[in-house]
Amino acid sequence: MTAPSEPKPDPDPDSGEADPGLSALMSERRQLINLGYRLLGSLADAEDVVQETYLRWYALSAQQQQAIESPGAWLMTVASRICLNQLASARVRRESYVGEWIPEPLPEPGEWITGQPGAGGLDPADRVTLDESVTMAFLVVLDAMTPAERVAFVLHDVYRFPFPEIAEIVGRTPAACRQLASSARRRIRAARAPDGPSTEQAAIVRDFKAAWAAQDIDALIGLLDPDATATADGGGLVNAHLDPIMGGVRVAHAYAELAGRVRDRATFLEYTVNGRPGLVAVQDGRTVSVFAFDIVGGRIRHIWAVANPEKIRPWRLG
């Protein structure tokens, strides 16, 4: 009979020996970041969720880890549960949030403007896939859902989780989870219209930028939907409208007034925001605001301006 083998010690990081399962485990990180961002609307919170998920994995004994058939699925399940708890507590925290709360905007990986060009390592945004499920319009609708609706919808419609597995995560029956996802899907359809071509959207944002810089109110009104809204998020840390501005005419006048105040202090640059054409305001070499747009039928229906410094750290120059 062969004697049972002794447990192998952890590999010495300086010895060149690597844990063959570690790289596979860490390869799930990008998937977890993507999940956390879609569920929470915050890259910083998503990073925290991923860290907590891995901590829970390494808190398991070796025997417990070996008994898990699919570590990747286990990590996704645990991360989803942590996000569900985060969403519930976020609703309480936002009751004291100053002004409107907008999801954290992300640039295209190629437009990432933190740090020096060619700097080593990947930025967090390089690990977030910017598709239809992370446009600002999509995230804003998700944020209006109940935590259970949001988790059920994202897990099923974005990540194709079967409802029995979702039921174990949210603590509902599979039938109830199916209804949650269906309700969320109806909200998405009611709130969102098909996007126009990206080139058309970019041209409209460019025209808006020119009219804004010129304080051309008539041109701004022509570019805005009559029922357009503009929402700002300063988080109480910078000056911003506390309530959404409703109506295209009011939005045009408000933005023309803003342009007059910052004319000699800020530069507006065209960037991709959550996969859609947007603008970035730069002042004294640093990003001070990020603007996302929802364009429907050739007109701007929503503008989201994020100026909360804690939410635009990835966009800062230098």
Distance CA 209, CA 279 (A): 8
79 shares a domain with 167: yes
Give the chain's length.
318
27 shares a domain with 172: yes
Are the CB atoms for 242 and 98 separated by under 8 Å?
yes
Distance CA 49, CA 36 (A): 7
77 shares a domain with 27: yes
290 shares a domain with 172: no
Q: Which of 131, 36, 121 is nearest to 85 (CA)?
A: 36
Q: Which of 11, 46, 42, 13 is nearest to 29 (CA)?
A: 46
Are the CB atoms for 300 and 226 separated by under 8 Å?
no
236 shares a domain with 169: no
User: Is 3's pLDDT higher than 70?
Assistant: no
Q: Which domain holds residue 98?
A: 21-102+145-190
One-letter identity of residue 31: Q
What does pTM read for this prediction? 0.85
Looking at 127, 161, 190, the residue that finishes a domain is 190
Q: What is the pLDDT of residues 193-244, one digit of tens each?
A: 667 778 999 999 999 999 999 999 999 999 999 999 999 999 999 989 999 9
269 shares a domain with 219: yes
Distance CA 251, CA 261 (A): 15
Domain count along the chain? 2
Distance CA 9, CA 14 (A): 14
Q: What mean pLDDT value characterizes the chain?
A: 86
186 shares a domain with 202: no
253 shares a domain with 158: no
Q: What is the pLDDT of residues 50-95, one digit of tens each?
A: 999 999 999 999 999 999 999 999 999 999 999 999 998 887 778 7
Is residue 260 a part of any domain in this protein?
yes
182 shares a domain with 213: no
Is residue 130 a part of any domain in this protein?
no
Cα–Cα distances (Å) from 267 to 63, 76, 203, 283, in that order, read 58, 41, 18, 6
158 shares a domain with 244: no
Is residue 305 a part of any domain in this protein?
yes
Looking at 161, 190, 219, the residue that finishes a domain is 190
Q: What is the pLDDT of residues 105-136, one digit of tens each?
A: 998 866 554 433 333 344 544 457 767 788 99
Distance CA 41, CA 102 (A): 8
Is residue 152 a part of any domain in this protein?
yes
Q: Report the DSSP beta bridge partners of residue 246.
A: 229
166 shares a domain with 240: no
300 shares a domain with 276: yes
